[in-house]
Structure 1
Amino acid sequence: MTQQSTPRTAARAEEGSGTKSARTRSRILDAAAEVLSSKGYAGMRLTDVAKVAELQAPAIYYYFDSREALIEEVMWVGIADMRAHLSDVLEALPADTESLARIMAAVDAHLRHELQISSYTTASIRNSGQVPEHIRTRQLAEEGDYGRIWRELIKRAYDDGTIRRDLDLYMLQMLIMGTLNWAAEWWSPRRGSVDDVVRTAQAFVASALTQPQDGAPNADPVDSASRSAKKS
């Protein structure tokens, strides 16, 4: 999988100093993201991280107190940077962009960041159900903020009549997010390009949003929205 870019979150702001220490810390984080993405939480060893970062393993403890501290930062950066990326993509759209087109842009941004741009995001998504709860505090907060962006996109499309009326908005959001996140588990270049994945996912999501089934019951938009707020 070809993916690496320097995350743009506050956690990496220190890189601007250009010091050797900052560059080394960055290399350790990049290496940890790569190893965590490929080997998972249980299989990640500091010796593997050190090998990728081209360091001696004990040097890692100069920058991170423990293996869990290193994993915690990778997990947080992965989601924080994806949220920043999605926000930038949406803000760059013309103000009159239709709600469905905005959702399609979000599908594109999510998949490209997950599969192509950032091994941090891949690591976060693949390991979110594996790492202990006590090191997911910052990651969970970022997931909540990221989910709110999607909730606003979906609610806007529902309010303007783009989304079919028989859908529960909370379930819809969870199913879309689950579908997009699962791509990190099954996709490889052998199965097609990232462009193919994006195009197929956009068609899948657009079809689900806009093609009602005959005789399907109508969901209560107020009830759906309130449940979405409670569960996010």
Structure 2
Amino acid sequence: MARKSASAPTDDSIETGAESKAVRTRKRILDAAAYVLSRKGYAGTRLSEVAEIAELQAPAIYYYFPSKDDLVEEVMWAGIADMNVHVGGVLAEVPAEVRPIDRILVAVEAHMRHELEISDYTTASIRNAGQVPEKIRVRQLEEEAKYGKMWRALFDDAVAAGELRSGLDPVIARMLVLGALNWAAEWWTPERGSLDTVVRTAQDIVRNGLSPGR
């Protein structure tokens, strides 16, 4: 598997013996499920393949997850929860004097790199949002609401600073920006161009689309 991301944080330092092994095995199953789900989708995800990648016998998965849907639900939630932590952490490191529009561009890069380069969980969560049964998305939707609040604050700050073009609806603009960023998970591969180029292009489009004309 080419990339990994943490799901729900765990502190293995406080675990010992069999319990620690169980935590690691559960994480291995989740990593494998995120990998398969991000590439083959909900319908194409088979527990037998997840088990093979996790180096387990397929029946062993049921010790940790009662069903495929329980496993997928955890991955779907973790993908957005992890994105929330990652993008929030990146923004927290941005100096206070940085302009609101530039903070949006920082968030654009953090979102795209996490979605396309860092996290199979986030890729799986984004790509399968419209494929999984609604009952699986309850926790994921709660995390999406928190993530959306972070982006609303970014756009609200840009509006207050006069850094969005006149007549632009900030709510619609925000939803279109996030939709475009998420759609990259459906089409981007390294063969289509470097991720650096994709990020720079997205930032240019967002800056020029949102900012007042000069």
Superposition TM-score tier, normalisation by shorter sequence: over 0.9
Identity among equivalent positions (%) equals 58
Q: 2:6 aligns to what?
A: 6
- Please tell me whether the aligned partners of residues 64 and 70 of structure 1 are also in contact (alpha carbons under 8 angstroms): yes
Distance 1:125 1:2 in 2: 18
Large movers: runs of 4+ above 2 Å: 14-18
Distance 1:127 1:15 in 2: 30
Distance 2:98 2:24 in 1: 40
- Please tell me whether the aligned partners of residues 12 and 26 of structure 1 are also in contact (alpha carbons under 8 angstroms): no
Distance 2:158 2:84 in 1: 20
Spell out, residue by residue over 1:63-120, the C-alpha distance to the aligned partner (whole angstroms, 9 max, x if none): 0111000000000000000000011011111111110110010000000000000000
Q: Do structure 1's residue 73 and structure 2's residue 74 form an aligned pair?
A: yes
Spell out, residue by residue over 1:137-167, the C-alpha distance to the aligned partner (whole angstroms, 9 max, x if none): 1000000000010011011101110001211
1:6 CA displacement = 2.6
Q: 2:59 aligns to what?
A: 58
Q: Secondary structure at the match of 1:101?
A: helix
Alignment: residue pair count: 210
The TM-score, its normalising length taken from structure 1, stands at 0.87
Distance 2:2 2:36 in 1: 14
Q: 1:40 aligns to what?
A: 41
Structure-to-structure mapping, 1:119-130, within 5 angstroms: 119-130=120-131
Distance 1:201 1:137 in 2: 30
- Please tell me whether the aligned partners of residues 35 and 49 of structure 1 are also in contact (alpha carbons under 8 angstroms): yes
Please, what is the CA RMSD of the aligned residues? 1.5
Gaps of 5+ in 1: 213-232
Give the partner amino acid of 2:72. I
